[in-house]
Structure 1
Amino acid sequence: MRTEGDLIHINEWLKPLSWLYGIGVRLRNQLFEVGVLKEHSFSIPAISVGNITVGGTGKTPHVEYLVNLLHDKVKVAVLSRGYKRKTRGFVLAGEQTTMPEIGDEPYQMKKKFSDIYVAVDKDRVRGIEMLTSLEDTKDVDVILLDDAFQHRYVKPGINILLVDYHRLIIYDKLLPAGRLREPKEGKARADVVIITKCPKDLKPMEFRVLTKAMDLYAYQELYFTTIDYDDLRPVFGDPDRRMKIAEAAGSHVALLTGIASPRQMLLDLSAMGMTITPLTFGDHHQFRERDAQTINEKFAALPAPKLLITTEKDAARLEAFEGLSSEVRDSLYVLPIHVSFMLGQEENFNQKIISYVRKNSRNSILVKKKDDNKSKDRHHSGNRPGTISFRDN
């Protein structure tokens, strides 16, 4: 039985170091609170998606959810740090940009959404200034800040905090004893808190217990999301050669991951009737020649029928990876994921985001429609204010 916080492990003997670490983090936050360290606000809508824990909470699929919600209505830019990239400073992704230049997650995003701007810069203030001033990108309407909850030099219009259901911050401890980057009280900066990776069979009482346990302020909104899996698609070869995830039931699957928290996927695929052999590497792992040998040997040893499944983030690094056997290349599939809101919360969340962007962007078609409606009302005083309809995503 999976329960909230079940993946948390506290190293009790490291708690003294956590206490010292906490002093430094609290001091930094206090310097921002009193204005010694400056937060920068921008006229353009900026939405931050991040966490206060080390490890995956589902930032990328939640950013992609926002992109899907907005990109056919406004010009969207995603600004990321570009973790483990081989470049420095500000880099704007183009058609020929490679994964090492911007990092695996931004590369994945640019491949999936060719009509948005994707940029990386460790200095988010500079990154926003570049996106809003460059000739190629100055028509941007909204900037999504990936993994920026602790980058306090930028003050976003909406601050979204993600909390993994299996690593609830209320049960965790500061680094290095636990996995918190800052005290759990830091959640007070969030406008929206989303508990991610929730089991699909959560009961109403469990939602109420979680809501009470999170102990949010009245100005904060709490949402719950779960992971859904899309069709498997080959990493190499014909991209139209798709496979329903249900078709993999009964297969021996080597699950190849280099992400922070692969256990959720392992549990889900096992529940779908697959026999899983984990091939687990560290987060953002850069695959090397010796890794190819390990992957080839372990996959060759599996009995048929067999598949090799990986994540979208790992696929971005594996595409240019040499040394994989022809058997591995022919059997390697990526498993895309997306998030779904629970308790019927999707419409409320969507409207919150759209309303914020509409009210704060002067270039967007959302504003144009709103202004057009106001103009019509001035000429037809008997009309009630028009509403804006949005195409389903």
Structure 2
Amino acid sequence: MMLKILNKKFHNWVYKYFYKPSFLQKLLAVFFLPLSFMYANIIKFKKFFSREIDFNIKIISVGNLILGGSGKTPLVKEIYKFCSPYMKTFIILRGYKRKSCGLIEVAINGKILTDIKNSGDEAMEYAISLKNANVIVSEDRILAIKKAKSMGAKLIIFDDGFSKFNIKKFDILLQPHKKPFFDFTIPSGAYRYPISFYKYANFIPDLNDVIKKSFIKNPTKDMVLVTAIANPNRLREYFDICKGVEIFPDHYDFNKKELLEILKKYQATSLLVTMKDYVKIKDYKINLSIIELNLTISPKFQDKILNFIK
């Protein structure tokens, strides 16, 4: 219980530090500026001395510049849905926090070939959510590209591949839902890459390019929100409609006992979860309400993708 309370306080403190800093937090950010400048220069050095390799296959990367989520996963899904009927498409990602290492084929032609411990939650979400999904996890993106090509891939989509400066690709960069208070890189600000790196994007969608619609599948009267995503504040619109909110570290590995205890604690009729959390607990036989996010990309966005592919 104490760990959960400390985790909530930590998430709230980090959110305020990056987006609504107090006077003391601003002083702390200024104190860390030398480290931020050092980190930013290392990233610039890496970018400057990287030379793109053309792997003779079209690669689209969906990324962002800040820590935490910016909606990469639902956009990768939508691009896959848009492209896969016309050309064999693979999604390649690192598989962060998975219990395996090396290259793992998560799903091929819609057939799931491994479990969530080996795939990681994000990769399994793709495998379950997408028709005829082709998903590979690998720390080595180049090895995964070669594997996908050997299996007939004509298009590859990187989840969070902006940092792969040595790979020729079409970079889509998502802007944050809420702009950080400071435009600095970590630890003084929320940026993983200097804000000037937006100039390296091939396309930056605006609000009119991505139309988002969310809904709750299987809603119940008394729900408790349970989440383990990078930026739980993105779910604030659901806080007030739930009997309680339980926040866990990103990619947290839930166990059935603690989830049942949460249901009992709030006298809830279901757990409200994201798809990323759902894939980890779907076999626990607990009543679940699921937040589903559907995207529609604009004709301009579609044209950008088609022009790149052609």
Q: TM-score, normalised by structure 2?
A: 0.83
- State whether residues 180 and 189 of structure 2, in contact with CA within 8 Å, keep that contact through their aligned partners in structure 1: no
Letter in 2 for 1:186: F
Q: Who is 1:71 aligned against?
A: 84
- Identify the residue that residue 281 of structure 1 maps to in structure 2: 248
1:308 maps to a residue whose letter is L
Out of 52-61 and 24-33, give the one that drifted further: 24-33
Instruction: Return closer, same or farther for 1:67/1:23 CA change in 2, 3 Å cut-off.
Output: same
**How far, CA to CA, are the matches of 2:165 and 2:40 in structure 1?**
12
- CA separation of 1:287 and 1:302: change in aligned 2, threshold 3 A: closer
Unmatched 5+ stretches in structure 2: 1-14
Q: Which amino acid aligns with 1:228?
A: K
Alignment match, 2:172: 160
The Cα of 1:231 is off from its aligned counterpart by 5.0
Q: Whole-Å Cα distance in 1 between the matches of residues 42 and 267 of structure 2? A: 56
Q: SS at 2:191's partner residue?
A: coil
- The whole-number CA distance in structure 1 between the counterparts of 2:236 and 2:131 is 30
> d(CA) in 1 for partners of 2:31 and 2:306?
45
- 1:111 is the counterpart of 2:128: yes
* CA distance 1:264–1:24, change in 2 (3 Å): closer
CA distance in 2, matches of 1:253, 1:172: 37
Amino acid at match of 1:225: V
Provide the residue aligned with 2:278 in structure 1: 315
Match of 1:302 among 266, 270, 275: 266
Q: CA deviation at 1:27?
A: 3.3
The AA in structure 2 aligned to 1:151 is K
Secondary structure class of the residue paired with 1:79:
strand
Task: Flag the 1:182–1:105 CA change in 2: closer, same or farther, 3 A.
Answer: same
Shift of residue 257 of structure 1?
A: 0.5
| 8 Å CA contact 2:225, 2:242 repeated in 1 | no
Larger-gyration structure (1/2):
1
**Residue 215 of structure 1: aligned partner:** none
Alignment partners' CA distance in 1, 2:216 and 2:87: 28
Partners of 1:266 and 1:276 within 8 A in 2: no
Whole-angstrom distance in 1 between the partners of 2:50 and 2:300: 34
Mapping 1:1-393, distance limit 5 Å: 8-10=19-21, 11-12=25-26, 13-33=28-48, 36-94=49-107, 95-132=112-149, 134=150, 137=151, 139-156=152-169, 158-166=170-178, 168=179, 171-195=182-206, 224-232=209-217, 243=218, 248=220, 251-268=221-238, 270=240, 274-288=241-255, 292-293=257-258, 295-302=259-266, 306-320=269-283, 329=286, 331-341=287-297, 346-357=298-309, 359=310
Q: Deviations over 1:199-236 (max 9, x none)?
A: xxxxxxxxxxxxxxxxxxxxxxxx5535312451xxxx
RMSD of aligned alpha carbons: 2.5
The 3-state SS of whatever aligns with 2:224 is strand
Instruction: Kindly indicate whether structure 1 or structure 2 has the higher relative contact order, using CA contacts under 8 Å at least 6 residues apart.
Output: 2
Match of 1:93, as an amino acid? Answer: V
Q: Deviations over 1:258-281 (max 9, x none)?
A: 0012223231564xxx24411111
Kindly indicate whether the alpha-carbon contact (under 8 Å) linking 2:36 and 2:188 is maintained by their aligned counterparts in 1.
no
Q: Alignment length, in residue pairs?
A: 287
1:351 shift after superposition = 1.7
SS of the residue 1:356 aligns to: helix
Deviation by residue 1:289-342 (Cα, 9 ceiling, x = unmatched): 6xx33x3233224357x4321011001111355xxxx7xx1x22222212245x
- The offset of 1:183, in angstroms, is 1.3
- Indicate the SS of the match to 2:19: coil
Aligned-partner SS, 1:335: strand
State the shift of 1:19 in Å.
2.9
